[in-house]
Structure 1
Amino acid sequence: MLVGRAVFRAPGLDGDVAVSRPHDADGFRGSATFSEQLRTVLAREDVEARESYTISRTREVRLGSAPSRASTGEPGLAVELPAPAEGWSQVILASDEAGVVSWHLAERPPGPTRGASASRGGGMQTFVLRRTVPPAEPAEQPATRGIVGALGRKVLQVLVFRAVEEVGGRVARWASGRWEEEKRPYRLRGFEPDSFQLEETTPIDAAAWDRLGSGPALLMLHGTFSRAHSGFAALQPDALQEMHQAYAGRVFAFDHYTLSETPDANVDAFLARVPAEVDLELDVVAHSRGGLVARSLGARHGDLSAGAKRVRLRNVVFVACPNGGTALADAEHMRSFVDRYTNLLSLLPDTAVLDVLATIVDVIKHLAVGALDAMPGLSAMRRDGDILSGLRDTPFAAETRAFGLAADYEPASAGRRALAAYARDGLMDRVFGSASNDLVVPTSSCWDLGGGRALDLADRHVFETSAAVDHTGFFGNAEASSRLVTWLTQP
């Protein structure tokens, strides 16, 4: 079926397809397809919306020729589009009938066209999506927002952007680093109860360093795709106030690269920002990938005391950390990694969504041109990678105590429509198999390092499925906040 510029191929699937185009020059403000947040981020990241396709009234009919297969192995819906101009890339952002959002990259590079599409001239790119039909039961009304609208229908939005910079025909390895340097720079920042959710806050000046070095201090390390103000946005204010009292105000955070540099490089950047005359005795709250930064810092306990600069870890709380890695960091699952975070956006505080979504868009730009090697910060979480193998052989100092918060996640039925659909379709556990997980990290990865080794935790707590705590939901949970305070303030 030829609709607009696209050819749809789905043997055995019938339905209606309508095409619409952006109503104004910037490509976003006139489209009801996007949430305001998504329109804002795409415009900031120089991503242009081309036409969108709405598929409705789909139904299975007599199967003809064999259908294409989606990346999940299921029957797929193939969409052929003319390749973009030289120097540009294109992807499809899709939302299915239940509101599940997914990103789709071209299945093969542009090539000669065949059949019905041949008359369009030029090369074509093929995208293969999961083939779904609306559920027979009445659709439940979602209580949470999403980034793409039109529930009950499948919406495919074509997005184009300038390709990640190439040098000599190869993707520049530093491309992602240049993006983070510009938009997610390294910095140490204050983390006060009245401003921790704000992007701009108190810098760490000489007086602050004097205070931080005068007694035990608390360091907050955010995880993948975020920064301190977004990664910890849901933290209970009362809990943070208690922490400030316990540490006499010595609480700060480290914004670090999560895409283009390894945890060890993150530690180098942290230590470079600590004045030589300052000694730090640190407790750490580390979320997700931030736990690997904490472990890299702790792995240096043998040589940190040799110079003028001394940093000692006292307590580390690992919150949903991939200490044993996550299958989502493997190259073949990276798009699933991005899809999961995109669907989790509906559960994040408003202060976090723009920050995380902008990083997701940058990752998609790199994946679209096969630039996974430009993101060693993500591949650091690979289960059998060199980074985790090295950390496995380098334990914390004997005086460092470690604690762990983990979860086995299943979505609550009310208000989490897209994630409930993820669960019904088996998408949540497809990568992890039968292993319990928080949607992003296997539950046991918080302490199980692999290779028959495990972190020696002083205490740990695992949220069962009834708590509905996902990878991004720990800091909004009252019990999690209570345990943080207890672990950090006990003698």
Structure 2
Amino acid sequence: MEPLSGGTERVSLGSNVTLMAPGLRGNARLLSGTGGDVRAAEESSDVLDTALQRAEMKGLRTIEIRAAQVPTPPAADLRDSRGDDALLLEVPDLGEDAEQVVLSVDEAGAMTWHFATDVHSVDDVNKVPVRSHSPASTVRGVEKRRFLIHKRIPPVDESSEAGTHRALFGALGRKLLKVLVFPVSDALINKPARVIAERWESDNRTYGLRRFTPADYRLPTGTPAERDALALTGDEAAMLTNGRALLFVHGTFSTAHGAFHDIPPELMQELHQRYGGRVFAFNHYSLSHDPIENVRRFNAMLQDVLPSGSLDVDIIAHSRGGLVARTLADGADAFGLDTSRVRVHRAVFAGVPNQGTRLAQPDHMIDMIDRLTTGLNVVPAGGVADILEGLLIAVKIIGHGALKALAGLRSMDPNGDFLKALNAPGRRNDGFLAIAANYQPQDAGLKSLVSGTANALVDRIFEHDANDLVVPERGVYDTNGCDSFPIAEERRLRLPAAAGIMHTSMFNHPEVVSHLRNWLV
């Protein structure tokens, strides 16, 4: 353990790793030993390790800080990209073939991602402004990579259930800085975000129409063998034409089995019986392709398995998947798509950004990743592994220096062209239903992340607007320009703050289950 005095000195932790932590008094150490030993010290789960491995990211080193906050010397005003008080971590540069990012886990469990900054010298902190920079702005060709890390210490309630059942990290009362490394492939250098994301999605999130029965809706489709085993066959597709079918459409970073994993088996069994077994799901790219391209691919796959005939469908859609559902319903008028073979009757929008979300704007995409990562840590959803893997790929894309060209995320931008066209007047569908949540964090880590401090009440992104951590509550069902909105009160379920439901944990709530039973067939 190396002492931290609260001053401006560099503290060497060994292995050419240094730390400057003005305003923190205590100790810091570089965790050492085998991977298992470090993981035990971190109290991290195998879910995180597995996701890192699949994303080709490796934990290089972990720094543990146990400290109390003291007055910061006036000459040591370090600020991170959000303008918050920061500490400075310096690690050896690994050259052009590898990139490093830092996952910070604060004392209350809030998880934030950090990218190298252009602060060149601790001695020059006051001469070289710590400017608000793009997360992709990095400095290469130097001996050190430098990271500004959120410093404030939130209060910790170690007796709370949320604080003792972490999905990714269990350590409370200390700050962990996990330095992760991933290769920079020659094939990806200087490539736009879309190309990088599309390449990953083609291997790990490929398009597919799959069976979604009570026996297999939680089974993954990550490998070719898994996809083949669950792919919708021609005979199964033909059966879908025998009556109204039920289609599941997942959201960003996720998959069908990940997004809907928490639906109780009893409800899936009941829905399967109601729809006569005509239940299927659509896996699609959610990062590199927009909903228009998603629907084009849906049509092409439907043509392959069902050369003739048409479908009548109800849809359960989560998050961005609702925009795909609306494009399938209204794409002919809004985008000139041929959607004549699919008639959408009812569509349930669970946490769907029908007005968009500010977190999809370039300046806030890191905030979205931080919120979702922390949400998985605080309130684990059944599909944690899949969502986390998608988040890690987004982190890698940002680390590669690409961020703004992700069409899948951009489709949720409130000011983007896609939503302007989708929400244009002149179309009406009375079959839309809404599930929206107002989530107010009770966990100290999430409070600090969302509001800037554990005691503040104003969301730093959504301000006073109720939201589910990712999507504004009213944005799911309220007026947006399209004649189908607002969705009538009797056709919406609003989950209050007391329900404790966030964006990733909706489908096992009793009221959600009850409303799905009442709304569908």
TM-score (structure 2 length as normaliser): 0.84
- 1:285 corresponds in structure 2 to 316
Q: Which amino acid aligns with 1:473?
A: S
- 2:472 corresponds in structure 1 to 442
CA contact (8 A) 2:240 2:311 kept: yes
Structure-to-structure mapping, 1:339-358, within 5 angstroms: 339-346=370-377, 351-358=382-389
Offset from partner CA, 1:90-146 (integer Å, 9 cap, x none): 1001111111111111123xx8656599xxx93333211221236387764624223
Partner of 2:242, secondary structure, is coil
Partner of 1:474, secondary structure, is coil
Alpha-carbon separation, structure 2, partners of 1:306 and 1:169:
33
Alpha-carbon separation, structure 2, partners of 1:308 and 1:437:
32
Of 159, 183, 187, 1:162 maps to 183
Q: Which amino acid aligns with 2:477?
A: W
Matched, 1:92 2:102: yes
Alpha-carbon separation, structure 2, partners of 1:231 and 1:271:
22
> Given the superposition, is the C-alpha separation of residues 345 and 62 from structure 1 closer, same or farther in structure 2, using an over 3 Å criterion?
closer
TM-score (structure 1 length as normaliser): 0.89
CA contact (8 A) 1:401 1:457 kept: no
State the 1:279 CA deviation: 0.4
- 1:387 corresponds in structure 2 to 418
Alpha-carbon separation, structure 2, partners of 1:283 and 1:53:
50
- 1:50 corresponds in structure 2 to 60
State the 1:212 CA deviation: 0.3
Q: Which amino acid aligns with 2:282?
A: F
State the 1:226 CA deviation: 0.8
> Given the superposition, is the C-alpha separation of residues 355 and 366 from structure 1 closer, same or farther in structure 2, using an over 3 Å criterion?
same
State the 1:268 CA deviation: 0.6
Matched, 1:472 2:498: no
Alpha-carbon separation, structure 2, partners of 1:353 and 1:300:
32
Unpaired stretches in structure 1, ≥5 consecutive residues = none
> Given the superposition, is the C-alpha separation of residues 136 and 456 from structure 1 closer, same or farther in structure 2, using an over 3 Å criterion?
closer
CA contact (8 A) 2:425 2:481 kept: no
> Given the superposition, is the C-alpha separation of residues 76 and 277 from structure 1 closer, same or farther in structure 2, using an over 3 Å criterion?
same
CA contact (8 A) 2:88 2:148 kept: yes
Which has the higher mean CA deviation after the structures are superposed, 478-487 or 444-453? 444-453
Offset from partner CA, 1:189-217 (integer Å, 9 cap, x none): 11111221111463211211111011111
- 2:446 corresponds in structure 1 to 419
- 2:279 corresponds in structure 1 to 251
CA contact (8 A) 1:78 1:127 kept: yes
Partner of 2:492, secondary structure, is strand
Matched, 1:131 2:141: no
State the 1:335 CA deviation: 0.9
State the 1:303 CA deviation: 10
Of 74, 99, 110, 1:64 maps to 74
Of 74, 81, 87, 1:77 maps to 87
- 1:406 corresponds in structure 2 to 436
Structure-to-structure mapping, 1:17-36, within 5 angstroms: 17-21=28-32, 23-24=34-35, 32-36=42-46
CA contact (8 A) 2:31 2:38 kept: no
State the 1:345 CA deviation: 1.5
Partner of 1:448, secondary structure, is coil
User: Paired residues, what number?
Assistant: 479
Q: Which amino acid aligns with 2:151?
A: R
Give the root-mean-square deviation of aligned CA atoms. 3.0
Of 192, 214, 228, 2:256 maps to 228
State the 1:35 CA deviation: 1.6
Matched, 1:242 2:270: yes
State the 1:164 CA deviation: 5.8
Offset from partner CA, 1:232-286 (integer Å, 9 cap, x none): 0111222222222221111110011111100111001101011230301111111
Matched, 1:189 2:210: yes
Q: Which amino acid aligns with 1:321?
A: V
Of 455, 459, 476, 1:429 maps to 459
CA contact (8 A) 1:438 1:471 kept: yes
CA contact (8 A) 2:478 2:485 kept: yes
State the 1:449 CA deviation: 5.2
Q: Which amino acid aligns with 2:21?
A: A
Matched, 1:324 2:355: yes
CA contact (8 A) 1:261 1:375 kept: yes
State the 1:455 CA deviation: 1.5
Partner of 1:243, secondary structure, is helix
Partner of 1:285, secondary structure, is strand
CA contact (8 A) 1:100 1:422 kept: yes
Which has the higher mean CA deviation after the structures are superposed, 480-489 or 383-392? 480-489
CA contact (8 A) 1:197 1:351 kept: no
- 2:130 corresponds in structure 1 to none
Partner of 1:209, secondary structure, is helix
Q: Which amino acid aligns with 2:273?
A: Q
CA contact (8 A) 2:315 2:346 kept: yes
Which has the higher mean CA deviation after the structures are superposed, 471-480 or 38-47? 38-47
Unpaired stretches in structure 2, ≥5 consecutive residues = 1-9, 126-140, 221-225
CA contact (8 A) 1:174 1:374 kept: no
Which has the higher mean CA deviation after the structures are superposed, 63-72 or 469-478? 63-72
Alpha-carbon separation, structure 2, partners of 1:230 and 1:361:
15
Alpha-carbon separation, structure 1, partners of 2:243 and 2:345:
12
- 2:26 corresponds in structure 1 to 15
CA contact (8 A) 1:45 1:358 kept: yes
Offset from partner CA, 1:25-84 (integer Å, 9 cap, x none): x99767645321111121222212112111102231352314211233221112223332
Partner of 2:311, secondary structure, is strand
Structure-to-structure mapping, 1:480-491, within 5 angstroms: 480-489=512-521
Q: Which amino acid aligns with 1:248?
A: G
> Given the superposition, is the C-alpha separation of residues 245 and 349 from structure 1 closer, same or farther in structure 2, using an over 3 Å criterion?
farther
Structure-to-structure mapping, 1:367-378, within 5 angstroms: 367-378=398-409
Which has the higher mean CA deviation after the structures are superposed, 374-383 or 339-348? 339-348
- 1:315 corresponds in structure 2 to 346
Of 146, 150, 174, 2:195 maps to 174
CA contact (8 A) 1:22 1:49 kept: no
Alpha-carbon separation, structure 1, partners of 2:26 and 2:146:
20
Alpha-carbon separation, structure 1, partners of 2:82 and 2:471:
19
> Given the superposition, is the C-alpha separation of residues 106 and 394 from structure 1 closer, same or farther in structure 2, using an over 3 Å criterion?
farther
Of 231, 234, 238, 1:206 maps to 234
